[in-house]
Chains A and B, each alone.
Chain A
Amino acid sequence: MNEIERNREVDTAWRAASHEEPPPALDAAIRAEARRAVGAAPVRKRNKHWWYPLATAATVAVLAVSIVQLTPPEQVAPTVVTEQSAAPREARSELARPSAGQDARLAAPPPAAPAATPTSPVKTQSAAKREQGVAGGAIERERAAAPAQAPEALAKKQSAEANDEAPARAKLAPPPPDKPDAGPAATFGGIRAPSLPRSEPFPAKPAPPEARRDVAAPAGAGEVQAARRAPAAPPVESRVAAAKVADADEAKAKDAGARSVEDWIKRIRDLRNEGRLDDAAKELAAFRVAFGERADALLPPDLRTWTPATK
């Protein structure tokens, strides 16, 4: 028997004789300390699919955000605009009333924005901007476009038929110059409803600077324009003259405001038929002055080319 075999005998004998193990309590203490050291809980199986609910929630959130971002604001706007356009109409009817309480009305803030605010279920940024436009700069912008559009306000106020004529007028009326959100003009299916002035009855002429400031000041968004006007306070004489002009305008407005386009045309025809050609010509001239370029479009063909000489 060589040395290797004898060594193997010793190995075997030793393994057979040596089987001591640490006490179980010591095992448990050491294992517990090891777990405590790494901050792990006692042996516990982890759910392999714990992340499924988190992944689902994250996916839903991402999809929702994506849809909101991809949705064009125009699809949301009509709801808001409808409510907004309803509010300015109320404001218009109030403002176009005969001038008994005009001063008070001009001093009051335009009710368009507050009326739309609590009822809007969905508000986008564009809607908010539109509200600002209605509340603030819209009055100024409308005033700029007023000479062409003011008679429509008159027609709106006096006759319910004006609503039926609105689409036709929209076609006839020139679109507002590159300002899609100027004023309460509502867009439905690509048809733009006419922008109607709210602050003045027909004929729309520049109001006194004080009145303008009163209208623009509470709107907030028109503060820049109001501030631009504020420092240029006219002298007393010019203010008196302006007041006179304003009174005259108001009288005209009262006179004109009492009639709709149809009434006006009817009166011209009546005068013509009665043989009062001069009066008819005056009325016609006044009509043309009031409606400007749009007068021909509003006049019937027989009056469009009529002059006192032609009868």
Chain B
Amino acid sequence: MLAYAAGDAAAFDTLYGRHKGGVYRYLLRQCRQSGVADELFQDVWMNLIRARGSYAPTAKFTTWLYRLAHNRLIDHYRASGHLTLVSADDESHEDVVAAIPAARGDEPQARAENRELGERLRAALAALPSAQREAFLLQQEGGLSLTEIAELTGVGAETVKSRLRYALGKLRDELSDMGDGLREGLG
């Protein structure tokens, strides 16, 4: 980021390539609409570009980036006034599910099972409270530690730990409902 702030455009390409997927999925899971996620995603990166001169490496770049995304998401929540739920027939999710790698080849049965797993996981995540979902996404997509999540969200580390425990428990329950064959398929 310092290189980009100094004028190196190639440094931005490196950063963007490394973090774009995680930030996009974080926003998509939180707002649950691909159109809104696109808009928020663009806003986050534009904010980063504008704030490049004030960037100080006091923390990990990832923490700073996800803080920008978190703040933009809060603004979006405030503007919309309510949380939207992901619809079961969202076409964008169909594509994502289809992209899940099949551990047992391209067998039609395995592809169907993977798609089912993805749908159920996303549904389980969507059913989580927003704070638990955010803690889970920051850990999974951003790779942030408990401390970093606590700092970013403005709560204590123990609170974050509790949120993560609840989120993982519910997702595990969702997975346990699926047969052993599905778990083997995830391999």
Contact = CB atoms under 8 A, between A and B. Distances in A.
Identify the interface centre among B8, B9, B117: most chain A CB within 10 Å of its CB.
Answer: B9
A278 interface: no
Contact of B45 (A13, A30, A39): A30
A116 B186 CA distance: 100
Interface in A12-26: 12-23, 26
Contacts of B183: 9
A26 B186 contact: no
Interface string B36-75: 0010011001100110100000000000000000000000
Nearest to B93: A20
Contacts of B21: 19-22
A18 B141 contact: yes
B42 A31 contact: no
Interface in B5-25: 7-10, 12-13, 16, 20-21, 24-25
A7 interface: yes
Given A7-B172, A10-B172, A38-B4, A17 B121 contact: yes
A19 B171 contact: no
B102 to A, nearest CB: 10
Contact of A17 (B10, B38, B50, B118): B118
B22 to A, nearest CB: 9
A9 B169 CA distance: 11
A12 B118 CA distance: 11
Contacts of B150: none
B126 interface: no
B112 interface: no
B3 to A, nearest CB: 10
A270 interface: no
A236 interface: no
B24 A20 contact: yes
B122 interface: yes
Contacts of A7: 168, 172
B100 interface: yes
Given A30-B45, A33-B46, A34-B9, A16 B38 contact: no
B44 to A, nearest CB: 9
Tell me the interface secondary structure of chain B in the complex.
Answer: helix
Nearest to B9: A40
Identify the interface centre among A9, A15, A20, A21: most chain B CB within 10 Å of its CB.
Answer: A20
B92 interface: yes
B121 A14 contact: yes
Contact of B20 (A22, A33, A38, A39): A22
A29 interface: yes
Nearest to B22: A18
B97 interface: yes
A22 B38 contact: yes
Interface in A70-112: none
A247 B77 CA distance: 119
Contact of B49 (A13, A33, A39): A33
A166 B122 CA distance: 115
B52 A37 contact: yes
B172 A34 contact: no
A9 B171 CA distance: 10
A10 B178 CA distance: 12
B16 A30 contact: yes
A16 B20 contact: no
Interface of A: 6-7, 9-23, 26-27, 29-31, 33-35, 37-40, 43
27 contacts: A6-B168, A7-B168, A9-B175, A10-B172, A10-B175, A13-B186, A14-B140, A15-B140, A17-B97, A17-B117, A18-B118, A18-B140, A19-B99, A20-B25, A20-B34, A20-B96, A21-B24, A26-B41, A27-B20, A29-B42, A31-B12, A33-B46, A34-B9, A34-B45, A37-B52, A38-B8, A40-B8
Given A9-B172, A10-B175, A13-B171, 7 more contacts: A13-B121, A18-B29, A27-B16, A31-B16, A34-B13, A38-B8, A40-B9
Interface of B: 4, 7-10, 12-13, 16, 20-21, 24-25, 28-29, 34, 38, 41-42, 45-46, 49-50, 52, 92, 96-97, 99-101, 114, 117-118, 121-122, 140-141, 168, 171-172, 175, 183, 186
Top 10 closest pairs, chain A to chain B, by CB: A17-B118, A40-B9, A34-B12, A35-B9, A22-B24, A30-B45, A38-B7, A10-B171, A19-B99, A37-B49
